[in-house]
Amino acid sequence: MRKNLELLEESIGYKFKNLNLLKTALTHTSYAYENKVKSYERLEYLGDSILEFISSKYLFQNFEKLTEGEMTKVRAYAVCEDSLYKIALKHNFSDFLYLGKSEKSAHTDKKAILADSVEAVIAAMYLDSNKIEIVQNFILENIKDNIEFASKHIGTKDYKTVLQEKLQVHGEVKILYNIIKEEGPDHDKTFTAEVECDGKKLAIGKGRSKKSAEMEAARKAIKLLDKK
């Protein structure tokens, strides 16, 4: 499969010496399995650590008034799946992903895959350049706004807390989250959660973990309640 990776290089602002590194960073496990090549999993692992280090360093150097706990919360928001997904959309990563036939035909939400690929590309850029400064520029260019926002909204309640408060405004209610489906192999699972209130089903959400699936279900329930 041929892809014009030069367009992606132009978008992320880095020209690879070893283009195979970039290809691997964009190769999902489904494609890797079907074509007997390496997937982005190992690069994703390294990229996650680099992302955490760069964001932590930036917070430490530029937000002296934040406590350790507050910096952790800000970093968690700045580099969460949603934030990485938005970076992938900004640079049109979906046009360059190598997906296997099974993944293409599944019609599942590619949000997690795109988020993972961002971490993998970060690692690939570092390994290809051997310069943390280059990777740092890319990371900060894409997450500085998130950090600024999060630093001003520390303590913002998560979706499950907000939903609970909305549903209990007139008194106690019973809110339950149920994992109704698990899909995919152990290393690449997708969970589907359902949230209900006093036995009434409100919304369904998907995520790479049970917690993220429940949070997505809560977010969708809030959106539905706000429309009423």
Q: Where are the domains of the chain?
A: 5-152, 159-227
pLDDT given at position 39? 96
Reference 147, options 89, 87, 79; nearest CA is: 79
What is the token pair recorded at 199?
Answer: 């036995």
What is the token pair recorded at 84?
Answer: 């990485």
pTM: 0.69
Domains 5-152 and 159-227 share a fold: no
Distances (CA, A) of 166 to 161, 172, 218, 220: 9, 11, 11, 13
**Sequential pLDDT tens for the chain (228 residues):** 457 899 999 999 999 999 999 999 999 999 999 999 999 999 999 999 999 999 999 999 999 999 998 898 889 888 988 889 989 999 999 999 999 987 876 655 688 899 999 999 999 999 999 999 999 999 999 999 989 888 877 766 677 888 888 898 888 899 999 999 998 887 778 899 999 999 999 999 988 888 888 888 988 898 888 776
Q: In angstroms, rounded to a whole number, what is the distance separating the alpha carbons of residues 183 and 110?
A: 14
Buried b (16+ CB within 10 A) or exposed e, 20-52: ebbbbbbbbbbbbeeeeeebbbebbebbbebbe
| CA–CA–CA angle 213, 214, 220 (5° rounding) | 90
pLDDT given at position 207? 85
Q: In angstroms, rounded to a whole number, what is the distance separating the alpha carbons of residues 95 and 89?
A: 10
pLDDT given at position 103? 80
pLDDT given at position 146? 87
Q: In angstroms, rounded to a whole number, what is the distance separating the alpha carbons of residues 77 and 74?
A: 5
Give residue for tokens 């209130």.
Answer: 197
Q: What is the CATH number of domain 5-152?
A: 1.10.1520.10
Q: In angstroms, rounded to a whole number, what is the distance separating the alpha carbons of residues 92 and 155?
A: 32
Q: What are phi and psi of 210, to 5 degrees?
A: -60, -40
pLDDT given at position 152? 78
pLDDT given at position 45? 96
Q: Per CATH, which fold does 159-227 belong to?
A: Double Stranded RNA Binding Domain (3.30.160)
- Residues marked active site are found at 48, 119
pLDDT given at position 73? 84
